[in-house]
Structure 1
């Protein structure tokens, strides 16, 4: 029986990969868009705003939308840690509340895309910006838990490019670290080399979400994270350094030091001697690592459970990361990388 799925965030990193995957089931997909309509064949676009009451629709149009929707997949979110204009709260909390209201009016199944870093805290001098984002996502989850309709919370880890092509809608924090590495701005990493760095290719994330929707899972909190299959931080850095060398960029493998050594002895001297714009870049990279390494914790993972439902298995982490770096290097104009790919 064909259902109507309402998708938010269709132009985002997860939503753009998810959209064609949802269509494979034969269900009808309606995309709620803020500005630009979705041009994908078979998709209907409705202009609205998740952060606005009734999604920015008239009372009549909101009721009409509710009458036709069977499933709500809420993937829209503000993920920029640096937002201080209230948009984090407006989209991630109030926007989620508005989508819950639509799902309840429709009597629809609700699938809420959150984050695997919902419990992120901060340490002195690092992680404060990410903590604000995590708090907004945690409150969004609380809104979903109070919903009166069946609902599932999905928590993707760090999302990288497609496991084969490396493509994705927008580059993320991990790519910024690689850019810093290529620019010679990552000589030292103040974290344990053995800590896991958890990431999942966007096609795996999309397939897992679509599988849950297709199988009509009605409850649970699922972690779309690599978990015990995550790469060690030093192994991930080795992949990035190797690709820098293949692109003709001579960089040294970063030196790993303890956070305590960095904070007490290195940072006070190292950062102060850097130009302001370089120091800001280094600080942003430390923010990324502080947020996503979480003191060496291994993330919970539901991927094996989802594989049993029919979702695609997690590909080799090293190969997926290499594909993502391939694509990033091509887009950024590192043509030697493209030549290396063609030769391979």
Structure 2
């Protein structure tokens, strides 16, 4: 039986591509897309692109002007009763994804916005599943093995992105007894394992930005001697796994780490990307505290195109256990690709688009 879907976060990269994977894997009746008023024109273009590429009618989509920071998501009151009777699946993707975001902005969108979405989904009479996009880093500064079943462990946080995503997940987790809910915690997102396409050049791409900025230097050192492991996950794995788990009966009420089950040490990732991009290997090591002091200077951050906050993740010694995700994906054919196989495609996409302002994030 065809389902009726509702997405926040459109026309963002994640919503756009998740919808494409959804259309390929599920029978879709209709898709409602919540869009900020100033994004309507772009949303219309993206809908037409999806319809053309996936060979479906654009009439299966409906754009709804709204805002998650408003009660009832700012959706026109006259259409609310109809939506409440029709929608079977809600994907809440809208959030501020920025390690350097100010607290007030992050709190309003990530926490208040999620509170409003939570209130709204409880009014949906046909709801089969509420899928919330969180992050593995709701664990904050915790170290050691981190389980999918854990949330509040008294942790502290590295930035306002983490703390507000944690507070939002606490709100969603509390709904599990009343609403069929699935929480998705991705690791650090990197490019599509086949095309290299990505959302933006952050996370592991900060390393590539660093290499690009220093490529004329006689050598480029490692940063720190941390024994941390990388937690980089190709975006297509996240899409495929999310669509599958959103419809699996067993996943109602569960939280999943969509993380790399076989991660590489950060120093290996650093060397792997440098060799792929510059055909060179790192030489020597600069202490992390020295690198962080340098990135405390605005002109250094802008020149290197690296956020200071990213260094915190390169030395976090944490293991994101994904046993439940691996178990519930068994038999689906969906597996996380080996980062070693993804790196060449990822680097090639970066090389072709490194000067495209649509991919480089603003660094102040």
| Fold similarity call, TM over 0.5 | yes
Q: 2:18 aligned with 1:18, yes or no? A: yes
Q: 1:254 to 1:141 in 2, by over 3 A?
A: farther
Equivalent residue runs for 1:1-344 within 5 Å: 1-24=1-24, 25-27=26-28, 28-34=30-36, 35-36=39-40, 37=43, 38-39=46-47, 40-41=50-51, 42-84=60-102, 86-107=104-125, 108=127, 109-121=129-141, 130-147=158-175, 148-184=178-214, 187-192=221-226, 194-216=227-249, 217-227=251-261, 229-245=262-278, 253=282, 255-256=284-285, 262-263=288-289, 266=290, 271=294, 277-278=299-300, 284-291=306-313, 293-294=315-316, 296-301=317-322, 302-310=324-332, 312-332=334-354
Q: 1:149 to 1:129 in 2, by over 3 A?
A: closer
Inter-partner Cα distance in structure 2 for 1:159 and 1:61? 35
Q: 1:242 to 1:119 in 2, by over 3 A?
A: same
CA RMSD of aligned residues (A): 2.9
Inter-partner Cα distance in structure 2 for 1:283 and 1:168? 17
Name 2:54's counterpart in structure 1: none
Q: 1:142 to 1:129 in 2, by over 3 A?
A: closer
Structure 1: tracts of 5 or more residues without a match: 123-127, 335-344
Inter-partner Cα distance in structure 2 for 1:97 and 1:81? 21
Contact 2:210 / 2:306 at 8 angstroms: preserved in 1? no
What TM-score comes out, normalization by structure 2 length?
Answer: 0.78
What TM-score comes out, normalization by structure 1 length?
Answer: 0.82
Contact 1:92 / 1:137 at 8 angstroms: preserved in 2? yes
Inter-partner Cα distance in structure 1 for 2:314 and 2:281? 23
Q: Which moved more, 1:85-94 or 1:148-157?
A: 85-94
Q: State the Cα deviation string for residues 291-343 of structure 1 (Å, max 9, x = none).
A: 3542x211121442243151511112111122111111111269xxxxxxxxx
